[in-house]
Amino acid sequence: MTIEKLGDMQIAYMRRTGGYGEGNRQLMEQFKRYLREHALLQEDTTILGIALDDPAQIPEDRQRYDVGMILTGREDPCGLPVRTVAGGRWAVFEVPHTEEGVSDFWGDLPQRAARLPVDGTRPILERYAHPKVSAHICEFCVPLRESKLRGI
């Protein structure tokens, strides 16, 4: 695990509403296809997956999931909506980019985050940067409260 400070990020994105799981994977594939068709999927493209709602609190039919590419200023979002993902400090975990690796991360999250000042007001980001994905690694960025970071 590492700690990173990220600035605010503009993303061009697609959203789905419904229970988390297979539908999220399908949205990711649809999004990457859209990026390829519009020549937006490049070596330096970073894609975020963002589960916006806590499934323990929000009914399945209202759970929102965004998939977006971080805009660097060079791209035209080609008709996709654009929004800002708030920056801040994040605990970044590298995870094998496999179904089992991702599932294990979510299952182990309470233990991994037990000593961290997690900011429950911001979502966890799934980050897919080309160099990491090429090495079969994805990253999970857990938001941290700013005021509690002095010892980290």
Task: Judge whether residue 140 has pLDDT over 60.
Answer: yes
Mean of per-residue pLDDT scores for the chain: 91
| pLDDT one-digit tens code per residue, 60-88 | 999 999 999 999 887 777 889 999 999 99
pLDDT of residue 130: 86
3 state SS for the chain = CEEEEECCEEEEEEEEECCCCHHHHHHHHHHHHHHHHCCCCCCCCEEEEEECCCCCCCCHHHCEEEEEEECCCCCCCCCCCEEEECCEEEEEEEEECCHHHHHHHHHHHHHHCCCCCECCCCCCEEEEEHHHHHCCEEEEEEEECHHHCCCC
CATH number (domain holding residue 80): 3.20.80.10
pLDDT of residue 138: 95
Quote the number of domains for the chain.
Answer: 1
| pLDDT one-digit tens code per residue, 95-139 | 999 889 988 998 999 999 999 999 999 999 999 998 888 889 999
Using a cut of 0.85, tell me whether the model's pTM lies above it: yes
Domain range spanning residue 33?
2-148
